[in-house]
Structure 1
Amino acid sequence: MDKFTRRAESSGWLSVRLSRTGQLASLCEYTRVKVVRETGGRTYFTITDGFIGVGAEASLSTANAAKYLSKDGPGGAAKVTVTYSGVPTEEVSPFKGKLKQQWATLSFEGQTATVTLNSVWDGGFRPIPTGIHAILAPDYSHKTISTAPYVSATSGMVGNDVWFPIGLSGSSENSSRYIHVGHLSEGCVTVHQLERWTALYQYLISHRVAGTAGKRIGSLVVQK
């Protein structure tokens, strides 16, 4: 029986126990799993798509499986448009200090959010170029980069440790650029308008491109 994960942690992840090693792995929402058995108070399943633990058997307590595994899968491909807003201008961030930001407006499903495309200008970083790029499924929890100040400042924020990789020019390869929440961009699409992050997260995480084994969320159109 196929089911789909839901977050147990507000940061956006579900911790499952891998059968082979006994270690925990974090799965993002809407990861497809195939339930194989229930025994000893645990529900066992195979992780069947996405980028995390594909092919591995894992388990949850049966009580948690009832809470965090759903029969409802993701919708189709997502689409996000990012439009540059003029030239870089300086901003005093309450979290990161004075930064020169390349601003842009991100649009999705009739909603908008202010984003920054770069704030590090040492020659090694540059804003994401115009074109059509791929949005990939989350690769791992980015909790090592603290988002605690953003969470504290934003009521109801979820998915704060989930970063969506960008495949430049439609590639399926992670370019090391992401869509994520924050006030510092090193070439990522960084959602500076913190109160808009949760809506964008929920939109992106609940969509997948058909026929991509859960590895693609949709498309990112960048324009000037």
Structure 2
Amino acid sequence: MSDFLRNSIATTNQHERTHTATVDTRYVRLPEDTKGWLLIKLSPSHTDAFICEYTKVTMVKSEGGRTYFKVADGLSSVGLTASLSDENAKRLLLKTPPSTAVATVKVKYGARKEEHSPFKGPLLQQWGTLNVGSQPITVTLNSRWTGEFTPIPAGVHRIMAPDYSHAESSTLGYRNTHPGRIKANDVWFPIELAGTKGNSTRYVHIGHLSEGCVTVHQIERWNDVYNFLISHRLPNTDGKYVALLEVTK
């Protein structure tokens, strides 16, 4: 039996005998100056994939300078075997789990008024305040008023774990204009609207423009939002949900 298999205990019955197997569980942790995704190599296909911080993995073996593990929860590559170099596995797969206390972030509608965007010129923004703990953070809930997009409705929704890298949405500029201060710019958290199931295509994310999302307009506060959400998982959801989102007008 591999030395990795040693922490949590499971029992199976075979030929009327009870055998004990132990499973070593780890969680992805990333450095502060990171885009928020861990590059892994799937096995046996050798294709690249990405998993987010605090993803749960179960260790399999160390072989040929690489550490193999199974992705155990979340929204990406669940159930698949993957690997990292032994050095990176030791550094990035740690025993610290996310909090499973039920976390709630609150959004309160504010004024609907215009700002002059450095990117798009005059924009009518539906402003709001996002409260993470006791910290008020300015967000925009909609920037486009053609009828295709609307501000997020009042209610209690669920925030999901990150789904995939949103680097194509051109948020790298925020890292460039805030060097060393903004991380995980392409980590977006999907919102499951009350009464629906799964990703509504609305997200909690960094930015100055909103298409019905909860967009963290106060760029320098994005890290606070990211750190809070990524470090939580709603209990009994297999790592698919991180927090509740309470929206009021």
TM-score, length-scaled by structure 1: 0.96
Q: Displaced runs of 4+ in structure 1, greater than 4 A? A: none
Matched, 1:119 2:152: no
Matched, 1:149 2:143: no
Matched, 1:104 2:128: yes
Of 80, 95, 109, the match for 2:105: 80
SS of the residue 1:213 aligns to:
coil
Q: Which has the higher mean CA deviation after the structures are superposed, 69-78 or 170-179?
A: 170-179
Partners of 1:134 and 1:172 within 8 A in 2 = no
Matched, 1:43 2:71: no
Partners of 2:25 and 2:59 within 8 A in 1 = yes
**Could you tell me which residue of structure 2 aligns to residue 26 of structure 1?**
50
**Could you tell me which residue of structure 2 aligns to residue 213 of structure 1?**
238
**What are structure 1's unaligned runs of at least 5 residues?**
none
Partners of 2:166 and 2:188 within 8 A in 1 = yes
Deviations 1:47-76, CA, capped at 9 Å, x for gaps: 010010000000000000011111000012
| Between structures 1 and 2, the one with greater strand share | 2
Partners of 1:134 and 1:171 within 8 A in 2 = no
Matched, 1:63 2:105: no
1:180-191 correspondence runs (5 A): 180-191=205-216
Partners of 2:172 and 2:186 within 8 A in 1 = no
The whole-number CA distance in structure 1 between the counterparts of 2:195 and 2:165 is: 23
The whole-number CA distance in structure 1 between the counterparts of 2:207 and 2:173 is: 10
TM-score, length-scaled by structure 2: 0.87
Matched, 1:13 2:41: no
Q: Give aligned-pair identity as a percent.
A: 52
Matched, 1:202 2:227: yes
- When the two chains are superposed, the root-mean-square deviation of aligned CA atoms in Å is 1.2
The whole-number CA distance in structure 1 between the counterparts of 2:49 and 2:99 is: 24
**What are structure 2's unaligned runs of at least 5 residues?**
1-23
How many residues are paired up? 223
Deviations 1:97-133, CA, capped at 9 Å, x for gaps: 2211000000011112100000010011100000000
The whole-number CA distance in structure 1 between the counterparts of 2:176 and 2:122 is: 21
The whole-number CA distance in structure 2 between the counterparts of 1:57 and 1:191 is: 35
SS of the residue 2:168 aligns to:
coil
- Give 1:170 shift: 5.9
The whole-number CA distance in structure 1 between the counterparts of 2:119 and 2:78 is: 37
Matched, 1:166 2:195: no
